[in-house]
């Protein structure tokens, strides 16, 4: 005899039989919702939305905790982004963007929101121009300016070196 039946018999004298019947709602068979195999992405900058609730296959991004690949049904999380590459993989191919940083929020219902201050398609950058800019910022960072100029140059170098690595 099942444990439930034993428990019911122990309590049965105190309960009316009508309360033991299952409601019609409980008797209906339920089916699990089909889990979506798509990730719904919103990629926003202050001046434009690059993606607005677009269904994609995967997003790869550079978080402070490390490189991440996000698929549908990913565990919810909030990630701070470091300057780096964001790759959006669609059915028709992939698109790459360089973001200066920001935040990515993964919701439990396969939604990903990426908010960044600046971001551009990777093909908009020239490797030559990035190398030249790195050389200029290195001169300033090595002591060629005020304390504020040096701090700004170090930040610019971090972003430019990440961009240079993405262009390779």
Summarised one tens digit per residue, pLDDT across range 74-92 is: 999 999 999 999 999 999 9
Q: Do 136 and 70 share a structural domain?
A: no
CATH number at residue 85: 2.60.15.10
User: Residue 108 sits in which domain range?
Assistant: 39-124
Q: Is 11 part of a structural domain of the chain?
A: no
Residue ranges of E strands in the chain: 39-45, 48-56, 58-63, 66-70, 77-81, 84-90, 93-99, 102-107, 111-116, 119-121
Confidence of residue 16 (pLDDT cuts 50, 70, 90): low
Q: Is 114 part of a structural domain of the chain?
A: yes
Across the chain, what does the average pLDDT equal?
Answer: 84
Q: How far apart are CA 51 and CA 43, in angstroms?
A: 5
pLDDT at 3 over 80: no
Whole-prediction pTM value? 0.71
pLDDT in tens, 131-143: 999 999 998 888 8
- Total domain count for the chain? 2
Q: Do 77 and 133 share a structural domain?
A: no
pLDDT at 69 over 60: yes
Q: Is 15 part of a structural domain of the chain?
A: no
Confidence of residue 166 (pLDDT cuts 50, 70, 90): confident
């Amino acid at each position: 005899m099942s444990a439930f039946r034993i428990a019911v018999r122990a309590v049965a004298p105190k309960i009316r039989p009508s309360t033991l019947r299952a409601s019609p709602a409980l008797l209906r068979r339920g089916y699990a919702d089909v889990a979506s195999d798509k990730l719904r992405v919103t990629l926003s900058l202050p001046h434009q939305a690059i993606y607005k609730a677009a269904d994609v296959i995967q997003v790869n991004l550079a978080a402070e905790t490390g490189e991440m690949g996000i698929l549908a049904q990913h565990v919810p999380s909030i990630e701070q982004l470091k300057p780096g590459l964001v790759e959006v993989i669609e059915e028709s191919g992939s698109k790459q963007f360089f973001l200066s940083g920001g935040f990515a929020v993964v919701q439990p219902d396969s939604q990903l929101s990426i908010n960044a201050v600046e971001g551009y398609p990777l093909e908009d950058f020239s490797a030559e121009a990035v190398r030249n800019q790195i050389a200029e910022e290195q001169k300033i960072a090595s002591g060629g300016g005020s304390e504020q100029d040096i701090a700004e140059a170090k930040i610019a170098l971090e972003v430019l070196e990440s961009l240079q690595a993405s262009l390779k």
